Amino acid sequence: MGQLVYMNGNLVPVEDAKVSVYDHGFLYGDGAFEGIRVYGGRVFKLKEHIDRLYMSCRVLMIPLPDPAESMVQTVLDLVKTNDVGDGYVRITVSRGVGLGLDPRVCKSATIVIMTDKLALYPPEMYKNGLEVVTVSTRVPPAQSIEPRVKSLGKYLCNIQAKIEANRVGAGEGLMLNVEGYVAEATGDNIFLIKSGEIITPPPYAGILAGITRSTVIELARSKGYNVRETMFTLFDVYTADECFLTGTAAEVIPVVRVDARIIGNGIPGQVTLDLMCAFHDLTNGVGTSA
């Protein structure tokens, strides 16, 4: 049997999983989403992802029909039904069907959950490190769109930034906020190591506070590293001892060159390697059983 997709309470084959052309997510990018990893049949940090999804929907005023606990079970059931070993779960929620900007035209949310394989960075990038370039596209200011909401519409800027990075063949694009401070990569959070201290931009820099980001902060502190959330500029990136990115797809990946500047010794640093190992150990043994 082929893969099934959850759509508003029903399981349907992938080829039959379709939403209306009047759906607000399609028409206006009006909705929220989560991407979640599955390791060895276990869904990683599922509760945290579902909690963030429900917070996003609350902020966007998109009512969900069932409690968060029900969504957790729905994801676990789908992972089991689709026999997902190592893979990806994508939950997409839109405001629902209705033409026109007024949210009142939408009577109920559209909820879609699907599973798939995950395209990771090539193995050599984890071994040798990424080359990153700073892009001109800025992250949206918090005055315009709340960065803690993982919304459908927000990611147009990230896509434009990714296009910029692709044009020059870089592994990732680094985005600044409107004040010129370093914010995040197109799909990942950024960390620096300077004089033994790990630093990363705070949420008020305009970043999405990633689940992997928070996991790595916890791991680093448990291993005795000092982690500080603070604003920093490209000067700090260029002069860092080490740099790495974190994300659901990326996990923990070293950065060895930014805007043609070599970071540290130009190879993945010891702190980065230590945290990569710790994260792999965690994902190999901790999760939510499907």
Catalytic residue list: 150
Q: Where are the alpha helices (DSSP H) in the chain?
A: 24-28, 46-60, 68-81, 123-128, 155-167, 211-222, 234-238, 270-285
Measured CA to CA, the distance from residue 96 to residue 31 in angstroms comes to 9
Are 209 and 149 a contacting pair, CB within 8 Å? Answer: no
Measured CA to CA, the distance from residue 219 to residue 56 in angstroms comes to 26
CA distances from 231 to 129, 134, 235 (A): 24, 16, 12
Measured CA to CA, the distance from residue 173 to residue 37 in angstroms comes to 22
CA triple 104-29-99, angle to 5 deg: 40
Are 43 and 89 a contacting pair, CB within 8 Å? Answer: yes
Measured CA to CA, the distance from residue 133 to residue 218 in angstroms comes to 28
List the structure tokens of 144: 């315009």
